[in-house]
Amino acid sequence: MCLNGWGGRLHEALLSYLSATSPDILCLQEVIHSPASRKDWLTYRDGDHDLPQRANLFRDVGAALPEHVAIFCPAAQGVLWDGENSIPSQWGLATFVHRSFPIIGQVQGFVHKDYSPAGYGDHPRSRSAHGVRVWDHDAGRAVSVTHMHGLRDLNGKMDTPERATQAHRLLDMSRSLTGPEDLTVICGDFNVEPGSETLSILRRAGLTELVTGRGFDSTRSSHYRKPGRFADYMLIDREDAVKSFDVVYDPEVSDHCPLVLDV
């Protein structure tokens, strides 16, 4: 499963859904980790915008998936607010792997900029990626899954040199993790349109994109009210290995929809 968690804005629905489905591998973007606070909610402030954030979404999801190994990959540390008190808070992505699947390799790095230790920074902000290589004993093979949260450009989701660079970095990270006989998956909230250079780069590398390739017309829930219905993608190097693939519109657990692949 691949999902942008929206900072835990719909945490009750999200945690209930994750607990019920218990995906073997969960690739989760937009994860908050505030170890200095025990509060459930803090506030993100950016100019005139005050947005509630689940203070410890990483902890919350870990509690909902107690049989999973949890790995948090921060992109930046800034501050969230508890009233007038500033709380150091890390922002990034996380991967959760069921303990029945041995993790035999990992890769972590940045697809845009580097770790920002003294604030979230100006847009487009630092963006990280993480991959795991697990052994599937039933299938007798390794599976590598690498995900990223693509950069946000205030001008939109158009192609830019920075987005092309991050696509190549994501691909390089996946290749550094993957063995020659592995089943390979790349996914994430890419923040690009279906006709983007990012997807072209990944397709030229031999990957098949499943969202638009299987006729889905959106990866956004009703909570997303801006133009543009795509952000999230999942690609695989051997389409014949796909048992099923779905974009889950119900229940709504974020302003993004979960992408669910069964191989």
Predicted TM-score (pTM) above 0.95: yes
pLDDT of residue 38: 92
Report pLDDT digits (tens) over 106-149: 999 999 999 999 999 888 999 999 999 999 999 999 999 999 99
pLDDT of residue 169: 98
pLDDT of residue 122: 87
Report residue 260's pLDDT band, with 50, 70 and 90 as the boundaries.
Answer: very high
pLDDT of residue 49: 80
Single-letter amino acid, residue 132: V
pLDDT of residue 228: 86
What is the pLDDT of the chain when averaged over all its residues?
A: 96
pLDDT of residue 168: 98
73, 94 contact by CB (below 8 A): yes
Residue 214 has pLDDT above 80, yes or no: yes
pLDDT of residue 24: 98
Share of the chain above pLDDT 90, in %: 95
Specify which residues 3 forms β-bridges with: 28
The strand pair at 141-149 and 127-136 is best described as: antiparallel
pLDDT of residue 227: 87
User: Of 45, 28, 29, nearest to 87 (Cα)?
Assistant: 45
Report residue 37's pLDDT band, with 50, 70 and 90 as the boundaries.
Answer: very high
pLDDT of residue 11: 95
Domains present along the chain, CATH in parentheses? 2-262 (3.60.10.10)
Tell me, what DSSP letter sits at residue 205? T
Specify which residues 146 forms β-bridges with: 131, 186
CB count, 10 Å around CB of 257?
26
Rounded CA-CA distance 32/78 in Å is 11
pLDDT of residue 89: 97
Residue 190 has pLDDT above 90, yes or no: yes
pLDDT of residue 48: 76
Report residue 200's pLDDT band, with 50, 70 and 90 as the boundaries.
Answer: very high
Report pLDDT digits (tens) over 1-33: 999 999 999 999 999 999 999 999 999 999 999
